A and B are shown apart, each in its own frame.
Chain A
Amino acid sequence: MTYKLNRRRFLAGTSAAVGAAAFLPMKIANAASGDLSVWKFGGTTAEVEEWAKRNETFNAEQPDINLNYSYFNGQIRRQKLLAGFQTNRMADVVIAFGQDIPEFAGFGMIQPLDDIAGDRVAGWKDRIVPEVLASGMHDGKLYGLPTYVDMASFLAINVDMMEEAGFDRPPRTWSEVREYAKAMTKPDRPGIAFPATTAPVDINIFQGIAYANGGRVFDEESGKVTLNDAGMVDALQLYVDLIADGSTPQATSLTETFFRDTAQLFAQGRSAMWIGLSWLNTPWGTPEDLNWTGAPFPRPDTPSGAFPPVAAIMDPTAILMVSARAKNPEAAVEYIDFWSQNEQLKIWGGNPEIARIPAGKAAWGEPGLAEAWPNWVDSYNEGTLFEGAEPMPRFIGVSAVESALGTAIQEAVLGQKTPQEAMDDATKAAQAQIDLLRG
């Protein structure tokens, strides 16, 4: 075969080569440039303010990236993200909850960071506490970069009221918590309060208690909902017992008061103890004269669940993920890498944000954290902080199961059903939803 080179072909060929040579380096140079949209969901006031400030630093460091950042309430994240995904207008980077990862990944809404971040991942592994980084993993791939985790469940105690009732340390077992609550109850002030609305956090608080009793909401291996396992039912019985003891506010009021309001009522001295997540009262502050302390929620006297009891369950509630339809993945990776740096992760080192368990290794050396949470820092340094901790429930259909669990908690708290009946019905309802969702 012969090939004739004429002038026209020569000109076209050389023009193309010159053009490619001229534009290719420019394209590489501009890899992390252009528009980048970021949606952040939830967070305390201190965190939200600091996040916006750090974004200004990012803008200064990356002048070629046009950051378009929006903040939304954490409760509407699913609605916003689903609507964005369906209409093809989802942000490049979303900062949501770790519990969302399996569903978002399963529906093709987010993409693995390993596929787009290349050698940046090694740096993240260096800077992030391994147990916390693992909370961004799903099916062996890293889907999100966590900035901190929340753990369940914890107990806030008014020290003055505890001492007045004749105790000198927080309760350690379920029997003790009932005894303490009873002793600390006064006619105008319950000994203990717990939130029992259907808000996801309220359900997470209960799950922390039940998982420590060997309960689980779902068995991934069999695909079966396990809400009616003894570990879950007995944890719900504890709630019912506390009400029956007369140690709580009216049952009807528990079902209308979610975690933040319960914390505020505790801060106002309207209850002697309250059950919450690891942050307890820190995001909202308490009066200066309120003498209070936090402790892990007491353990069951004898765990009754079919699964191994956990020390705590945890979830990263500000984890950076990249949309599967990100228009600018290079800039998205640049943004995530920015948030993986020690300077940013130190936000959760006790100054200005003291409510969370930091993801950054460097944050654990911050004096503010040691001052706010000395026990956490000691446990971290001893390597026991995450010992026996497991992720909060996360699987496709988790929302349906947690919703059914929320209903069961309310039915038992209100005395409409026994814990066993409520959990049996919830298991059936949740299984139907799971089967429908998974086809």
Chain B
Amino acid sequence: MNTSSDRWLAYFMILPVVAAVLAFVIGPTWDVATLSLTQVVMGQERGFGTLNNFRALAADPMFALVLKNTAIWILGGTILCVMTGLAVGTFLAIDSKMTTGLRALILLPWVLPDVVTAMAWKWMLHGQVGVIGSTLQSAGLTEQQISFLGDPDLVMWTLVVVLIWRKMPLVALILCAAIRSVPNEQIEASRMDGANAFERFRFVVIPNIAFSLTAVTVISMIWITAEFALPWIMTGGGPANTSQIMSTYIYQQSFEFFSWGVASAMSVVNLVMLMVIVALYLYVNRKSWATGAAS
């Protein structure tokens, strides 16, 4: 078989994937982009080529709050998820009977359905009957039971904590696998050169897992941006919109207010924001990304 026919075979083999991406990713994205530029009145499309939906979004006093909450959700969630995942992954990389068992057990939060997770946490955090609040109170740590999801000052960060509990296990396992693949010779050599544990981790392990770390950060960011069920079931965006984020507000605009144009405009803003953040992150980490990809 010559080179030319190899190339055609390769194109043929990737054709189904290309078709699927066009149909299920590019198609809907294009649809949302055009809808964001369409005036929708009473559920009917009335005229294309308008920026009215984006103007309405800019004039919406809620949108600034949604952006702030989304920043906490995405950036706070991603950073804490990856940092915790790295710490847990490092621990799991140690060879012992306990860590072998934990590596399987840690996936439990990740495999539970969103609805089950959300309902379980909602009740554990409840201000009247929640086990967490009553434990803190009976231990004398709080005067009265805390309502974690009803307190505007706590709700957003409480959601982030639940999010980390749910998403971190996979991050930890990926990083654990990466850490375990770091050549022992390098670690031994650095130990012989007098590097302490932190220095070995910082200057040997981290550079070796940089590619995995970058990849898992980007993937986490995308997962967290797309997460809807967890915050919606736990708070519905409340109280008083203090946990309203992009995904829940887009849902509310679409399915409660019938403002499909505005919801699409918000989706476009969300997509652009995510692309910018991911691009910036990849640019900053371009060396590790390029090295890892090449290897």
Q: Is the CB of A410 within 8 A of B239?
A: yes
Bound-complex Cα distance A407 to B120 (A): 25
Bound-complex Cα distance A180 to B236 (A): 32
| Any B CB within 8 A of the CB of A199 | yes
- How many residues on chain A are close to B (CB under 8 Å)? 40
**Which residues of chain B in 223-281 are interfacial with respect to chain A, using CB atoms and an 8 Å cutoff?**
235-241, 251-252, 254-259, 262
| Chain B residues whose CB sits within 8 angstroms of the CB of A252 once the complex forms | 127, 147, 150-151, 239
Nearest B-chain residue to A401, judged by Cβ: B257
Bound-complex Cα distance A414 to B259 (A): 29
Bound-complex Cα distance A257 to B236 (A): 12
Q: Is the CB of A399 within 8 A of B147?
A: no
Contact partner of B42 (CB less than 8 A), chosen from A199, A265, A396, is A396
With A106-B43, A432-B60 known as contacts, the answer to whether A256 contacts B127 (CB < 8 A) is yes
With A270-B128, A403-B256 known as contacts, the answer to whether A250 contacts B42 (CB < 8 A) is no
Q: Is the CB of A399 within 8 A of B257?
A: yes
With A396-B42, A436-B259 known as contacts, the answer to whether A256 contacts B60 (CB < 8 A) is no
Bound-complex Cα distance A439 to B46 (A): 10
With A403-B252, A414-B239, A437-B42 known as contacts, the answer to whether A256 contacts B126 (CB < 8 A) is yes
| Any B CB within 8 A of the CB of A254 | yes
Q: Is the CB of A439 within 8 A of B41?
A: yes
Contact partner of A256 (CB less than 8 A), chosen from B44, B147, B241, B258, is B147
Interface centre among B43, B46, B61, B151 (most CB of A within 10 A): B43
| Any B CB within 8 A of the CB of A281 | no
Q: Is the CB of B60 within 8 A of A407?
A: no
With A82-B255, A107-B258 known as contacts, the answer to whether A414 contacts B240 (CB < 8 A) is yes
| Chain A residues whose CB sits within 8 angstroms of the CB of B255 once the complex forms | 78-79, 82
With A198-B237, A254-B150 known as contacts, the answer to whether A265 contacts B256 (CB < 8 A) is no
Bound-complex Cα distance A378 to B170 (A): 62
B41-82 contact mask (Cβ, 8 Å, vs A): 1 or 0: 111101000000000100111100000000000000000000
| Any B CB within 8 A of the CB of A400 | yes
| Chain A residues whose CB sits within 8 angstroms of the CB of B46 once the complex forms | 439
Q: Is the CB of B151 within 8 A of A429?
A: no
Count A-B pairs with CB separation below 8 Å: 111
Contact partner of B258 (CB less than 8 A), chosen from A250, A406, A429, A437, is A437
Bound-complex Cα distance A414 to B62 (A): 18
Bound-complex Cα distance A106 to B254 (A): 16
Q: Is the CB of B254 within 8 A of A436?
A: no
B113-153 contact mask (Cβ, 8 Å, vs A): 1 or 0: 00000000010001111000000000000001101011110
The distance from the CB of B164 to the nearest CB of chain A, in whole angstroms, is: 21
Bound-complex Cα distance A403 to B39 (A): 22
| Chain A residues whose CB sits within 8 angstroms of the CB of B262 once the complex forms | 436
Q: Is the CB of B128 within 8 A of A249?
A: yes
With A250-B127, A410-B240 known as contacts, the answer to whether A429 contacts B62 (CB < 8 A) is yes
| Any B CB within 8 A of the CB of A13 | no
| Chain A residues whose CB sits within 8 angstroms of the CB of B144 once the complex forms | 250
Bound-complex Cα distance A106 to B44 (A): 10
Nearest A-chain residue to B53, judged by Cβ: A436
Nearest A-chain residue to B240, judged by Cβ: A410
Bound-complex Cα distance A256 to B257 (A): 22
The distance from the CB of B239 to the nearest CB of chain A, in whole angstroms, is: 4
Nearest B-chain residue to A190, judged by Cβ: B128
| Any B CB within 8 A of the CB of A337 | no
With A107-B42, A399-B257, A436-B259 known as contacts, the answer to whether A253 contacts B128 (CB < 8 A) is yes
| Chain A residues whose CB sits within 8 angstroms of the CB of B62 once the complex forms | 429
With A249-B128, A250-B144 known as contacts, the answer to whether A255 contacts B240 (CB < 8 A) is yes
| Chain A residues whose CB sits within 8 angstroms of the CB of B256 once the complex forms | 78, 399-400, 403
Beyond A254-B150, A256-B149, list 18 extra A-B contacts (CB 8 Å): A82-B254, A107-B42, A107-B258, A252-B127, A252-B147, A252-B151, A253-B150, A257-B126, A270-B129, A399-B257, A400-B257, A407-B240, A410-B238, A416-B240, A437-B41, A437-B257, A439-B39, A439-B46
Q: Enumerate chain B interface residues (CB-CB to A < 8 A).
A: 39, 41-44, 46, 56, 59-62, 122, 126-129, 144-145, 147, 149-152, 235-241, 251-252, 254-259, 262
21 A-B residue pairs with Cβ-Cβ distance under 8 Å, sorted by A, are A107-B44, A249-B128, A250-B128, A252-B147, A253-B127, A253-B145, A253-B147, A255-B240, A256-B122, A256-B126, A256-B239, A270-B128, A399-B257, A399-B258, A406-B238, A407-B240, A414-B239, A416-B152, A432-B59, A432-B60, A438-B41
Question: What are the nearest 3 A-B pairs in CB distance?
Answer: A253-B127, A439-B41, A252-B150
Q: Enumerate chain A interface residues (CB-CB to B < 8 A).
A: 78-79, 82, 103, 106-109, 197-199, 249-257, 265, 270, 396-397, 399-400, 403, 406-407, 410-411, 414, 416, 429, 432-433, 436-439
